Each structure stands twice: as structure tokens, then as C-alpha cells.
Amino acid sequence: MTKIPYTPTRRQLLAMIGQVAGAGAMYQAMTSLGFAAESGYTAEPGLQGPRQGRRVLILGAGIAGMAAAYEMRRAGYEVKILEYQNRHGGRCLTIRGGDRHTEMGGHEITCDFEGDGFFNPGPWRLPVHHRAVFDYCRKLGVPLQPFIIKNNRAYLHSSRAFDGKPQRIGHVEKDMRGHVSELLAKSLHQGSLDETVSAEDRDKLLEGLRDWGVLDRHHRYRASNDLGGVRGWDTRPGGGLMAEKSPSQPIDLSPLLQSGLWNQLFNFNSYSFEPPMFEPVGGMDAITDAFAREVSDVIQFNARVTRIAQGDGGVTVTYEDGNRGLVQEETADWCICTIPLSVLVQLEVDCSDEMRQAIGAVPYASAFKVALEFRRRFWEQDDQIMGGVSYTDLPLVQIAYPSYGFLSEGPAVLQAAYDTATGGRNFTYSWSSMTPQERIDAALAFGRQIHPQYDAEFMSGTSWVWHRVDWSLGCYGQWTDDLRDTHYKTLCEIDNRLVLAGEHCSHIPAWLEGALLSALDAIKRLDQRENA
């Protein structure tokens, strides 16, 4: 059968080159959206401390609130934290077997994991360039381990391509690189780039493309032993009288493009997900537990703030004391509020009109996760996937394999579904409308299309949807360029005796680093105001 040559449009060719060449061209655009900014952290804030006794009231015992309390107390301020929940950590939490949570609507989230696996509903990985988080992990003794974000043995999957069979990430990536190299080589041979590339550079580029794309001597991307050494083998090299090795067969360009799998490769190009990434040993709450060990004595739990009043001389916070069933007040010289804007907008807050408008202007992204426990690590034993993330066009969006416990026997946990409402498609509200059991059932139904072992190995599951969490009402502040231009500076400024902090007051929303940096910046400016 004669193959019909595929001739991409200029737009498709440029898109392919961008996909396989890396994220450099996209970095500035992503930074403007607040998702790829590098941490500006260099050192701890170095506060001067109060000139005389000063009391600071902090609302919220998440990472921002506890970091602020830790540094301000070290500088000599009297500090107290009011926390709505009966636990510290905020959105940085880890769920393990035996945990129970009640979501809005009254459904109970149960976790019946029998093994030592765990589930991080919120933050679950740390970019290596998030310097503040790494510095505090070092200071507070939080051990870290590598988090495998990209694994070439994991899958890219389209339910509409290749009869629904998932393809290895490494195969798709190398095939795209090979086909793009062949197309570029053809363009050079045809003189299409003579105005751009000199004759000398043309020869060097052709030589480089041959190695980079693993092209044959005619600059074609074809199966060969050279390609087997890069892409892998259908029959792997063995020993003794085992079968002769045979190289794997690349996917043709047209079906690869039509599948959409090459678009999924871009998930690994983001600067935020640049390897190596890391995670705390044993769960993300190891970080907030470390802060809590330093400031737990100043945290009052079950304190539901209802009003923030302030004047020139100080601030008064009214709250419902859930432990005693009383309405109480706390006064202080300063207030640092880390309550999510989605909740804060519903409270009575004395502040400028501009601040009030800023608080109400920022929507919160929805997000969901489902975690499933299985009897054995079939992804390792059957599919040779050791950590990493698989992506799919199914509503699961992604499946993340644990980066711990490799080759161990017994139960293990997969993060079996995860997405936020920031992509072109939005599955989050559909998952949010399901009951906890329906989410588990859906994760199993979709997931078995990628891993048929699900049915035989499934033990139990749990889930989390952030729009049904009463103390957060969403996952993170979802800024746009226009919103930042209009409200961001106002939101971060000190409003008389009140200053806000949290991931929503940062250019790195949704990340622990953003919450931490906003807190450090807020307390530094407050300390300067105190000592002006």
C-alpha cells in the first residue's frame, strides 16, 4: 500500500517545532499569567522587630499564616493565630487511611486505605526553583525525595486514536522529534530556508538533525538499530541464544498528528514542571507539620472569623469559638489575614473601598482529585512504569504514579484523576456534582481504558473537590492580566492596620511558594511600617 505523504501547513510545522523544542518560547507568556514565574526568594526577611511590645493577630494557620507567625515571633512580636478548622495546614493536607472529612452538601469523604499510601488533595510537588520552600524545609528539618514528573514509560492516551491504546510518552516525543527533523531537513534540501540559513549553517544543521532526529543517511525517520538505541526495541537485546533484537516501529506522522497526543507533550514543557521536582517524605503535610511544631502554642483552632474591624490604633477581630460556643473578640496592633478571598469576601471587613473591590474581584479555580488503592503495583510489575504522570483526553485528565515505595509488595495508591479549571476543557464541575462514591466509580470506569488491571486489583478510593470545601470554596485565586492590572497592587498593600497574605497575593498562585513569599513580603513591609 502506497503511503500518502503528509504535508503540514506552516502553522502546524511551527507548532510541532515548538512542542518538541522545549518551553523557552512559551515562558514569557506563562509568566504573564502567573503560572511560570520563578521564585524571587533570596533569604529570610530579616525583620527589625517592634520598638516596643506589639501584638499581631494572624487569621489562618496555613503555610502563609504559620510562616508569618514563625518569623514575627522570632523578631519579638507577640503573635496569635485564629484558625477556622480543627487542624493546621490549610490547603496543604495529606489524607491517609482512617481519615474522614465532610464536604458541603453533607457527604462524608472517607479514606479506607489499608497500606501506607497517602493522597495529597492540594499541593503535591515542589519545583526545584521554589527556593523559599526548599530553604524552610532545610531549616525545619523536612526530608525531601525526588518526585518523578516525567517518565518516558508512562502513557499519553486518546480515546479516539490507535483504537484507544495508550502510547508511551517517550515514543510520541521521539517520533515527533524525528518527523520534525525530517521535515526540516527536506526544507533545507529544497532551499526553502536559504534566506534564513547560510550554506555553512545549512550543512551543520543537516548534520545535527541527523543525530537529533535519528535520521538515516537520506535524512528520513525510519526504524533502524540506531533508532532502537534511542526509541527502544520491540525485541530487547538479550543474552546467550535469546532472540535477536529488533527496533521498535515509529508511528507515522499523520496518525500521530491526528491523535492529538503530541499536544499532551506540552504538559511536560512548563517551566513550573521542569525536572527535577521534589516532595516531602511521607506526604505534603510534613511541611506544615514542621511549621506547626514551631508555632502550635499560638494557634487557636475552631475559631470562625465573622468580622475584622480596624481603626488608627489597632484591629479587633470577632469570631465564633467553636470549642465553647461563644462569640469572642481579639484585639491587636496589626492583623495579617490569610483567609482565601472566596471566603473573605463574605465577611464583614473594615477596609478601603478599593481593597473591598479587590477582595471580591478574584474568582477561585475549581479542582478535583481522586485517589485509588490497589492490591499491587501493577503499573510497575506489568507496565514498567516507575513514577511519573500519564495524560489522557478522558475526564480523568491525568494519572500520577507514586514516587515512593518502588518494588514493594502489598497495597499502593494512585492519584487516579486530577484537573483544574484552567485548560481548554473543564471537567471539574462535573466531578464536583458527583457524590464521593460516584467519583470513585467514574475513576474506575475511565481508568480501566488505560489500565485494564483496575477491576481485578481495586481495593478502595477517596476523592476531593475544592468547590465543596467550606473553608476554601475553591482551589486557588485565578488571576487574569486585566485583574492583576486593576486590583493586585491594592490587594497586597497594607490597609491601615490590615494586610493580606496567601497564594492569592502572589504571582505564583496555587503553589506553596506563592503563599510563603506573600507572607514574607507582607511581614517585611509591616515591620518597616512599624519601625518607620
Report the pLDDT value the prediction gives residue 4, as an integer from 0 to 100.
44
* CB within 8 Å of 434: residues ≥ 6 apart: 442
Spatial CA neighbour of 503 closest among 132, 249, 234: 132
Residue reference for cell 506526604 = 283
Kind and range of the H or E run holding 279: strand 277-280
Amino acid letter, residue 59: L
Side-chain-side CA neighbours of residue 325 (13 Å): 0
Report the pLDDT value the prediction gives residue 17, as an integer from 0 to 100.
54
Report the pLDDT value the prediction gives residue 210, as an integer from 0 to 100.
95
Q: What is the pLDDT along the chain (532 residues), one digit of tens a residue?
A: 444 444 555 445 545 555 555 443 333 333 333 444 556 788 888 899 998 889 999 999 999 999 999 999 999 999 999 999 999 999 999 999 999 999 999 999 999 999 999 999 999 999 999 999 999 999 999 999 999 999 999 999 999 999 999 999 999 999 999 999 999 999 999 988 888 888 899 999 999 999 999 999 999 999 999 999 999 999 999 999 999 999 999 999 999 999 999 899 988 988 899 999 999 999 999 999 999 999 999 999 999 999 999 998 999 999 999 988 899 999 999 999 999 999 999 999 999 999 999 999 999 998 999 999 999 999 999 999 999 999 999 999 999 999 999 999 999 999 999 998 665 567 888 999 999 999 999 999 999 999 999 999 999 999 999 999 999 999 999 999 999 999 999 999 999 999 999 999 999 999 999 999 999 999 999 999 999 8
39 close to 513: Cβ distance less than 8 angstroms: yes
Q: What is the CATH number of domain 104-153+275-284+365-468?
A: 3.90.660.10
Task: Please determine whether the domains at 55-85+301-362+476-530 and 104-153+275-284+365-468 fall in the same fold group of CATH.
Answer: no
DSSP structure class, residue 485 = I
Amino acid letter, residue 475: C
Predicted TM-score (pTM) of this structure: 0.89
Burial of 274 (0-12, 13-18, 19+ CB in 10 A): middle
Task: For the beta carbon of residue 21, count every other beta carbon within 10 angstroms.
Answer: 12
Mention the CATH class of domain 170-255.
Answer: mainly alpha
Domain 55-85+301-362+476-530: CATH superfamily is FAD/NAD(P)-binding domain (3.50.50.60)
Sheet with 412-420: strands ordered across: 167-168, 155-157, 388-392, 398-401, 412-420, 367-374, 458-465
Residue reference for cell 518516558 = 152
Give the CA distances from residue 54 to residues 76, 127, 333, 388, in Å, rounded to whole numbers and listed in that order: 8, 36, 6, 48
Residues in the chain: 532
C-alpha–C-alpha distance, residues 241 and 28, integer Å: 55
Amino acid letter, residue 96: R
DSSP structure class, residue 398 = E
Report the pLDDT value the prediction gives residue 18, as an integer from 0 to 100.
54
C-alpha–C-alpha distance, residues 258 and 262, integer Å: 9
C-alpha–C-alpha distance, residues 312 and 323, integer Å: 31
Kind and range of the H or E run holding 465: strand 458-465
Kind and range of the H or E run holding 58: strand 55-59
199 φ/ψ angles, rounded to the nearest 5 degrees: -60, -40
Domain parsing of the chain, residue ranges: 55-85+301-362+476-530, 104-153+275-284+365-468, 170-255
Residue reference for cell 546467550 = 240
